[in-house]
């Protein structure tokens, strides 16, 4: 179809003014030029859009139909300019992410902090959930991005491998288990645990694994952060189930021994998901890419060097 956005803008101006000359003036062209453009538009569409009468330029039924589309089109153009204008001085927006506690504390928080510093007009909502609930939450539009451990059978999602982590048992160096290189969870369950808070996905996972092993989880206390958990383990209060990534980013070298777990579930593959049909705004795409591209995260996805 051989017409331009200017022709449609002229058509809208004429329809609103019910006058060719007034419409031409509104788009800053001469009446003769407006008449030529209007004829060209009508020829391209294959129908008359106006009839002339004593009241001026009246829309034909076809013109009424075109008017509805042209108004919608220019509303879209205005929204486009508004959206683009929001990014002229940097990314702006609000992103929602949900993740399990291991991903959130071991990998996401440092990446998130750097991203928000670089983009001061982007805000974020971060929510911790159990891994098995996260894919459905993203599909239900409760979050833009989800990061969870394991696999999912939820359809309608785009999945990206995010990071590899390992759950370990942390004990003080003088602990009876400290001499072991690898243990089963049952051996650790003979001792009292220091755990994250009762709603933490880390605690809920540990509780579920103990129940599956037919054992009772003995919790000496719950605390608010992995840093507090490690501090209490170091002090000899109890043992803990923690991600290896948490110990790697601990601010100080702690007197803690990490014991590998001879459990298939101890190897944690973390996946990032978004809806397959999501049209993520620029700032959300940039945030997702910053999570995936963080060197400390990306290196965990690399195969170990052969000896």
pLDDT per residue over 99-156, tens digit each?
999 899 889 998 999 999 998 888 899 999 999 999 999 998 888 999 999 999 999 9
Instruction: For residue 63, give every residue at least 6 positions away whose Cβ sits within 8 Å of its Cβ, in sequence order, or none.
Output: 15, 48, 49, 50
CA 276 to centroid of chain Cα atoms: 12
- Identify the pLDDT of residue 89: 59
Report the pLDDT averaged over residues 245-267: 84
- Identify the pLDDT of residue 175: 95
Instruction: Name the pLDDT band for 93 (thresholds 50, 70, 90).
Output: confident
Which residues are bridge partners to 94 per DSSP?
123
Instruction: Name the pLDDT band for 91 (thresholds 50, 70, 90).
Output: low
Q: pLDDT per residue over 165-211, tens digit each?
A: 999 999 999 999 999 989 999 999 999 999 999 999 999 999 999 99
CB 57 within 8 A of CB 48: no
CB 136 within 8 A of CB 154: yes
Sequential DSSP letters for 128-150 = E--GGGHHHHHHTTS-SEEEEES
pTM over 0.85: no
Report the pLDDT averaged over residues 52-72: 89
Q: Which has more confidence, 83 or 70?
A: 70
Whole-angstrom Cα distance, residue 88 to residue 97?
25
SS3 for 214-226, per residue?
CCCCCEEEEECCH
User: Taking 70 as the threshold, does the pLDDT of residue 85 lie above it?
Assistant: no
- Identify the pLDDT of residue 307: 43
- The mean pLDDT of the chain is 89
Q: Which of 64, 65, 300, 284 is nearest to 166 (CA)?
A: 300
Residue 259 φ then ψ, to 5°:
-110, 125
- Identify the pLDDT of residue 251: 57
Q: Helix axis angle, 109-118 relative to 282-293, nearest 10°? A: 130
- Identify the pLDDT of residue 87: 62
Percent of the chain with pLDDT over 70: 92
């Amino acid at each position: 179809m051989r017409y331009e956005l200017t022709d449609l803008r002229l058509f809208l101006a004429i329809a609103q003014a019910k006058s060719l000359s007034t419409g031409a003036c509104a788009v800053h062209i001469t009446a003769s030029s407006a008449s030529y453009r209007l004829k060209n538009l009508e020829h391209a569409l294959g129908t008359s859009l106006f009839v002339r009468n004593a009241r001026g330029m009246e829309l034909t039924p076809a013109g009424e139909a075109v008017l509805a589309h042209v108004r919608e089109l220019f509303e879209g153009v205005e929204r486009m300019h508004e959206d683009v204008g929001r990014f002229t001085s940097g990314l702006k927006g609000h992103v929602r992410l949900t993740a399990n506690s291991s991903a959130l504390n071991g990998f996401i928080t440092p990446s998130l902090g750097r991203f928000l510093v670089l983009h001061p007009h982007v805000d974020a909502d971060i929510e911790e959930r159990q891994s098995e609930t996260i894919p459905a939450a993203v599909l239900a539009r409760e979050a833009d991005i989800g990061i969870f451990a394991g696999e999912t059978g939820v359809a309608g999602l785009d999945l990206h491998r995010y990071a590899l982590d390992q759950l370990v048992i942390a004990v003080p160096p003088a602990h009876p288990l400290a001499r072991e290189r690898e243990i089963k969870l049952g051996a650790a369950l003979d001792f009292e645990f220091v755990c994250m808070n009762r709603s933490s996905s880390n605690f809920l996972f540990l509780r579920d694994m103990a129940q599956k092993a037919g054992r009772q989880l003995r919790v000496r206390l719950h605390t608010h952060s992995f840093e507090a958990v490690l501090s209490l383990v170091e002090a000899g209060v109890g043992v803990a189930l923690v991600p290896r990534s948490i110990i790697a980013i601990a601010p100080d070298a702690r007197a803690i021994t990490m014991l590998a777990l001879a459990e298939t579930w101890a190897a944690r593959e973390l996946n990032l998901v978004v809806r397959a049909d999501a049209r993520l705004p620029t700032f959300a795409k940039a945030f997702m890419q910053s999570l995936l591209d963080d060197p400390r995260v990306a290196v965990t996805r690399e195969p170990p060097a052969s000896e």
